[in-house]
Structures are given as structure tokens and as C-alpha cells.
Amino acid sequence: IHGVWPDKEGTLLQNCKPLPTYIHFADKMLNDLDKNWIQLKYPERFARKEQPLWLYQYLKHGSCCQKVYDQNTYFSLALRLKDRFDLLRTLQLHRIVPGSSYTFKEIFDAVKTVSQTDPDVKCTKGAQELPEIGI
């Protein structure tokens, strides 16, 4: 998971006012987020304690839907969406696996089978990796 980004009529919303208060997670939600929304840029102990990625995402994007989703609901939604649109499993089912090359269309069509809408597949010409899939 990179993030859950609310939009309004195709316009990405971010840094909405007032900024919400972030409450550090503990217990089951902390473990679920740590397993499914990995903070790879930070040492594990620091990431679990300070939660910099989740804090950043919530203040930047969660702030724009706080009237509808409180912090727990926002992150629960992200976890449910990850399970619903399990992109790694979907790609594997379409025989798209790490270490091989695929066309944009192959990846696009595979993701569309679960998203039911056109995904936003970000490719970098000449790169050996797929940096992002937006649904």
C-alpha cells in the first residue's frame, strides 16, 4: 500500500484543513498495518514507534476525508481495499511474476480484471521495475 488518496471529480485532494490529530496505533491495528502497509524506508523499531509513513499519509490525504472517515476507519479502509484488490495475487494469477518482462497491456488487463475500471499503471521507460499501480 502506498496510500488512500481521496479525490473530487478526478482532482487529487491533499493537505486539507484543519489538519487532523494523528493517534499512534497499538495492538492489532499496529500489527495489521505493519504487515500490510510496510514502512520500508525506516528501521523497524523506529517505524513501529514513530509511524512516520502512516502519519504522513494520514495528514496529507486522510485530512481530506476526515468528515467521513476518522483515523481508524481511514486505515481500515486501506486494509480492506488491499485485500479486495490483491494486486500481487492478481498478477500471479495472470502469470505476471517478478524477474520477467511484460507489456503495459498485459499488466493493465490483468489489474482491470479486479478493478473493473482502467488502472493507473505507472511505468518508467527502460526501468526494470513497475513502480506503481493506482486503482
Q: What is the dihedral of CA 36, 42, 45, 48, to 10 degrees?
A: -40
Catalytic residue, candidates 39, 51, 61, 66: 61
Based on C-alpha coordinates, what's the Rg of the chain?
A: 16
Catalytic residue, candidates 14, 24, 51, 57: 57
Catalytic residue, candidates 2, 14, 24, 51: 2
The strand pairing partners of 8, in sequence order, are: 11
CA 103/CA 129 separation, integer angstroms:
12
Whether 24 is catalytic is no
Catalytic residues: 2, 57, 61
